[in-house]
Amino acid sequence: MAANTSPSIKLRFVNDNEIRTLNAEHAAKHRRCLFSDTERQQMSDELIDAVVAQDQDPGQVMLDLEQDCLETYPKESQSFSVFRGPFGVARWLGSVEEAHNDDSELIDFNAIGGTGDVEPDEDLTRWLLETSPEDKVGNNEDIFANLLQISSIPQTNPPRANEFFRDTDLSTSISLDNHRMTFSVNEDPKAWLLLSYYRDRIIHLISLRQQQHPQHDEVNDPWSSLVMPCAMTTMAELTIGGSASHARLGLLYALLATSAFHLQNSSIGLTADDWMVAGEEYTERARGHLEACLEMDKTKCKYKEVLMAILCLANAFMVKGDPDTRLTYLLYAERFIRANGFNKSTLSRKRRTLHHCYAYMRIMAETTRSSSYTSSTDSPGTDKASEDDNDQFRVSRWTALSENLMGSEKDPDTARRDLHLEVPGNWTSTLFPELYGIAESFLLLLSQVIRLANERDLAMDQDGNLSLKEFTLRAKSLEKSIYRLISSSACGSVSSPSSSSTSTSTADDNSMQATYIALLIFFYRRVHNVDVALLQREVLTVQDYLMQIEESQDSAGGNGRTVALMWPAFVAACEALLPETQRYFAEWFEGLLAKTGLVSVSLAKGVCEFIWARRREEDGLSWPEVLRNRGVKVLCT
């Protein structure tokens, strides 16, 4: 173990005999170990044996212990201890004299190797929520304190995109001042716990690659390699009394809000209400810091930090189950990227990674977005760049999506600026396969299907931009391209995977195939609105792939139900006719809900069950009609 205090000073560990030979000048560079090598090895062996004897994963034991700390409360007049396997957390609130009182409650440190049958208290959450940081901010301590006043009443009507952008001038490039603010993290004892919860639980929900590969290299995961280091650094600076910029504080509070909202979803009673209030408070703080960024002098800009803060806040609303506000911040992210993201001739990998994250989040959000509130191509606060991109996902400029056009190479500059994958073609520098495990051609086709479907919906209510001939040509081109995508993948057809060799099929192959078949179902439903009976072969194919994924993951000790598969499962489940198929998808969503605790999973299951019930009464009801007519919003990412 060594630590560098400066480039010229290094610590060296010495034994007892060497200490006598050190003079005062060199003593500061040396340290003595408290335990010998033999003692340290013995302690390590005992710890391993204690875990192995109970057949437990050490990482999971620590996570369970942390969860217990979030769900229990040490009474102020008593000591408390929580043990899981060989690990424990204890607190002693009495005096030294009280420790010798037979009536006092002592902490049994000898129970560390026990079975952990100490009954935890039930109100740690209330203790964590007692301290409210904003109550201790003086009027003259921070000139931006008025931006951070938090109401204890949660917002019931989140602002729409129009209201959010109405007073925001985005006609010029935004450059945010890196003004720094101070905040004592010691005044918020739950902050570190929530940040740790985000690292250990939330990232595995929003990182598709970590869902598919738990041992995935975190260097390639933006939430682990970019977001968490920034948040941890910010917390460390605040812990020692330092300061942080508005962008960093906005990112930090967005992460804390996300953890609080997820704990709300997985809690019951008053505990859930407390976490909801905490999540709302952190959300308002994050929003306040982002707004403060826009109000500062536009001379300096931490572009990646601001963009990360916006995307993290969008994820917070995803976990909360608020699609409208999430879309608002995705629109905000798009404006910010177009105003500031392409001002350099060469984009760094980190910047391109964040652009890919935005693109995936936005395109997937558009798949279940009702076109009833996208009836205008004009967006509030729209500048020329965003007008060219077409925020409403209307039809793009191509006429026929030929195989040659799909196989052609994109111009690099055009590809970098093509956020919503409007321009057909390949881009060798794309990061989608690496970040999300899917081909960019899939997202390209999905984007084009959404655009054509929106044109169809708008033509039902008003005059559309496409003639019947042009609509038919575009639909035919998309259909052929989707079949080419399916046939070029592992299995080579849309037939049931049981007819092909499954011994060499991997979970990744099955996941990819399920997603591609779901794209075909999505196309037939959104563009042609075909009779549900015509889609049963594809529905059963998706079901077969999901079952194979579960079987392969179960044999490997994993879980095949992940958020990454929620979109294909939802698209297929909505078209299921057979009772046994409906039961399978209902159980699949129940398993995913138990694993993730996401509100969107429960809502997706509810929409499917509503469609199944209505379909038994009347024919022809589709999930886009349910979402549009009943104002329901579903998030599948």
Residue 594 and residue 596: Cα distance in Å, rounded? 6
The model's confidence at residue 91, banded by pLDDT at 50, 70 and 90, is low
Select the more confidently predicted residue: 400 or 29.
29
Both 117 and 204 in one domain: the answer is no
Asked if the model's pLDDT at residue 387 lies above 80, the reply is no
Q: Is residue 48 part of a domain?
A: yes
Which residues, in sequence order, are bridge partners of residue 14? 32
Helices 599-617 and 579-596 sit at what angle, rounded to 10 degrees? 160
| Segment 503-527 mean pLDDT | 85
pLDDT of residue 247: 92
Task: Specify the range with the lowest mean pLDDT, choosing from 5-14, 63-72, 421-430.
Answer: 5-14
Q: Report if residue 443 sits inside a domain.
A: no
Higher pLDDT, 570 or 503: 570
User: Region 11-18: what's the mean pLDDT?
Assistant: 68
CA distance 238 to 225: 21
DSSP 8-state secondary structure symbol assigned to residue 202: I
CA distance 604 to 598: 10
* 345 vs 413: CA distance, rounded Å: 9
Residue 637 within a domain: no
Same domain assignment for residues 621 and 523: yes
Is the residue at 513 inside a domain? Answer: yes
| Beta strand pairing call for 30-32 and 12-14 | parallel
Task: Kindly tell me if the per-residue pLDDT of 77 is higher than 80.
Answer: no
Between CA 418 and CA 457 the distance in angstroms is 24
pLDDT in tens, 134-185: 443 333 333 223 322 322 323 333 333 333 333 333 332 323 333 444 444 5
Give the pLDDT band of residue 92 (cuts 50, 70, 90).
Answer: low
- Residue 574's closest CA among 527, 615, 534? 615
Distance between CA atoms of residues 501 and 522, nearest Å: 27
Q: What local confidence, expressed as pLDDT, does residue 380 receive? A: 31
Percent of the chain with pLDDT strictly greater than 90: 32
71 confidence band (pLDDT: 50, 70, 90):
low
Q: 82 and 115 in contact (C-beta within 8 Å)?
A: no
Gap between the Cα atoms of 220 and 223, Å rounded: 9
% of the chain with per-residue pLDDT over 70: 65
Q: What is the predicted pLDDT for the residue at 61?
A: 74
Q: What is the pLDDT of residues 25-70, one digit of tens each?
A: 555 566 777 777 788 888 888 877 777 666 666 767 777 777 776 6
**Residue 414, domain member (yes or no):** no
pLDDT of res. 479: 93
Decide: helix, strand or coil at residue 287: helix
Output the pLDDT for position 557: 55
| One domain, residues 218 and 285 | yes
Does the pLDDT at position 635 exceed 70? Answer: yes
Contact (CB, 8 A) for 359 and 442:
no
CB 560 within 8 A of CB 507: yes
What pLDDT does 438 receive?
87
Residue 209, Cβ neighbours under 10 Å: how many? 21
Q: Give the count of beta carbons closer than 10 Å to the beta carbon of residue 187.
A: 15
What is the DSSP secondary-structure string of 434-479? HHHSS-HHHHHHHHHHHHHHHHHHHHHHS--SS-HHHHHHHHHHHH
Q: Is the pLDDT of residue 271 over 70?
A: yes
Residue 426 has pLDDT above 80, yes or no: yes
74 lies in a domain?
yes
Q: 578 and 518 in one domain?
A: yes
Instruction: Specify whether 230 is located in the same domain as 326.
Output: yes
Answer yes or no: do 275 and 164 share one domain.
yes
Q: Identify the pLDDT of residue 115.
A: 40
For 215-243, how does the pLDDT look when each residue is reduced to its tens digit (9 = 90+)?
555 557 899 999 999 999 999 888 887 88
Query: What distance in Å separates the CA atoms of residue 355 and residue 87, rounded to the nearest whole number?
Result: 41
Distance CA 472, CA 264 (A): 47
Q: Examine the fold and report which residue of 343, 369, 393 is the final residue of a domain before the chain moves on.
A: 343
> How many domains are contained in the chain?
4
Provide the residue range defining the domain that includes 200: 127-343
635 in a structural domain: no
With bands split at pLDDT 50, 70 and 90, how would you rate the model's confidence at 466? confident
Please check the confidence at residue 265 and state whether its pLDDT lies above 70.
Answer: yes
What's the rounded Cα separation, in Å, for the pair 126 and 436? 38
Mean pLDDT, rounded, for 594-610? 91
Whether pTM > 0.85 for this model: the answer is no
- Using the predicted structure, report yes or no on whether residue 521 has a pLDDT greater than 60: yes
Following CA atoms 554, 558, 560, 566 in sequence, which dihedral angle do they give, to the nearest 10 degrees? 160
Q: 104-113, 487-496, 508-517, 538-547: which range is least confident on average?
A: 104-113
User: What local confidence, expressed as pLDDT, does residue 208 receive?
Assistant: 74
Separation of alpha carbons 533 and 583, rounded Å: 18
Task: Report the pLDDT averaged over residues 199-206.
Answer: 90
**pLDDT of 433-462, one tens digit each?**
888 888 899 999 999 999 999 888 888 777
pLDDT at position 4 is: 45
- Considering the domain architecture, whether residues 131 and 116 belong to the same structural domain is answered as no
Q: Could you tell me if 617 and 543 lie in one domain? A: yes
Determine the pLDDT at residue 100: 44
Mean pLDDT of the 385-410 span:
63
Burial class for 179, CB neighbours closer than 10 Å (0-12, 13-18, 19+): middle
Task: Note the pLDDT tens digit of each residue in 606-621.
Answer: 999 999 988 887 766 7
Q: Answer yes or no: is 520 within a domain.
A: yes
Q: What is the mean pLDDT of the chain?
A: 74
553 touches 559 (CB < 8 A)? yes
Contacts of 87 (CB under 8 A, 6+ apart): 61, 62, 65, 112
Q: How far apart are CA 259 and CA 516, in angstroms?
A: 32
Q: Which residues pair with 81 in a beta bridge?
A: 90
Least confident window among 36-50, 191-205, 332-346, 520-534: 36-50
Last residue within a domain, chosen from 122, 146, 181: 122
Does 59 lie in the same domain as 15?
A: no
27 and 142 share one domain: no
> Where a domain ends, among 308, 343, 378?
343
199 in the same domain as 75: no
> For residues 621 and 287, which has the higher predicted lDDT (pLDDT)?
287
Q: Are residues 81 and 173 in the same domain?
A: no
